[in-house]
Amino acid sequence: MRIFSQVFRRTLLILGLGLVAISANASVDKPQNGVEFKVLARPQPVDSGKKIEVTEFFGYFCPHCNALEPLMEDWVKKQGDNIVFKRVHVNFHNLVTQQKLHLTLEAMGKVDEFQAKAFKAFHIDHNRLQSDGDVMEFVAKSGLDKQKFSEIYNSFTIQSKVNRAGQLQEAYQIDSVPTIAIDGRYITSPAQSVSTMGRVTEDMQNHAVLKVMDFLIAKIQKERNATAATPAAPVKKK
C-alpha cells in the first residue's frame, strides 16, 4: 500500500509539472498588451534604420540577468540582421562602477567577449565590483589592457554615457531588471511574460520572454511590410 501511495504521488507530481509546462507554452502563444508586454505611453526614438532595435536593461549585480544572459546571446545570434541589439546597465543600488565597467567594455569592443566574465566575477568569484579597485582587480585577472581600460574608464566620454544611461532608464520607466525594450515602443520581461501563470521556474520564465520577443519582432516586421506595400496617395494638382 505504501509503495502504491509513493507511486501515486510521483505520478501526480509528473502530471502537475507537465501541465505547468503546457500552460507556460500556451500562455505566450498570443501575448497581449498589458499582460505579457506593454506599450510605452511615450515611444522612444530609435536609430537602427531598417533593423529593429532591441535593448536589454540589465545589471551585473542581478542574478536574473545572469540566468538570462546565455539564452539572450543565443536569441540575438538567431535574429541576425533583423535586429540591432543594445545593452543598458541600470544604476540601481548606486553601482556606477558596474555601469562604467560595461560602458568601457563596450567602448573597447569587448562586451561580447567579457560580458559572461563580468557576471561570473560578481556571482561566482564574489567580486562585487562596488569600487574602482574591484573593477581594476577584475580587469587585471581577465587579461584586459589595464592602461587602456583605465584611460577609457575614467574619461569624460564614459561619464557622459553614464548620464545617458540614466536618462534612458527613466524614459523607459525601468524599475526592475532584466527588462527588454523593442522598437522603442514595447516593454517586456521574464516576470511579465508569465504574469498569468502560477508558479514557474526561472528557466521557464526566460524561455517565455523569448517567445514574447519573437512575437513582437514578427508583429513589427508585419506592420512594416504592410506599410511598404501600401501605394502612396496621388498628389492632386491645385
pLDDT of residue 235: 67
pTM: 0.86
d(C-alpha 73, C-alpha 119), whole Å:
14
The mean-pLDDT minimum among 20-29, 59-68, 76-85, 218-227 falls in 20-29
Domain count, the chain: 1
Percent of the chain with pLDDT over 70: 86
Residue 191 is assigned to a structural domain of this protein:
yes
CA distances from 169 to 5, 123, 217, 218 (A): 53, 23, 22, 25
Run of H or E including 38: strand 38-39
d(C-alpha 197, C-alpha 78), whole Å:
27
Average pLDDT over residues 138-166: 97
Domain span including residue 217: 29-225
Residue 179 is assigned to a structural domain of this protein:
yes
Closest CA to 212 of 225, 238, 193, 228: 193
Residue 22 is assigned to a structural domain of this protein:
no
Average pLDDT over residues 97-109: 98
Residue 183 is assigned to a structural domain of this protein:
yes
pLDDT of residue 91: 94
- Phi first, then psi: give them for residue 36, nearest 5 degrees: -80, -15
Tens-place pLDDT, residues 15-66: 444 444 444 444 578 999 999 999 999 999 999 999 999 999 999 999 999 9
Indicate whether 112 pLDDT > 50: yes
Q: How buried is residue 96: exposed, middle or buried, by Cβ count under 10 Å (0-12/13-18/19+)?
A: middle
Residue 42 is assigned to a structural domain of this protein:
yes
Catalogue the E-assigned strands of 133-233. 179-182, 186-188
Residue 237 is assigned to a structural domain of this protein:
no
Residue 104 is assigned to a structural domain of this protein:
yes
d(C-alpha 177, C-alpha 60), whole Å:
10
Indicate whether 109 pLDDT > 60: yes
Residue 208 is assigned to a structural domain of this protein:
yes
State the angle between helix axes of 96-107 and 146-153 in degrees (0 to 180), rounded to the nearest 10.
Answer: 120
**CATH code where residue 33 lies:** 3.40.30.10
Residues 6 or more apart in contact with residue 57 via CB below 8 angstroms: 87, 88, 90, 168, 169, 172, 174, 177, 178, 179, 180, 181
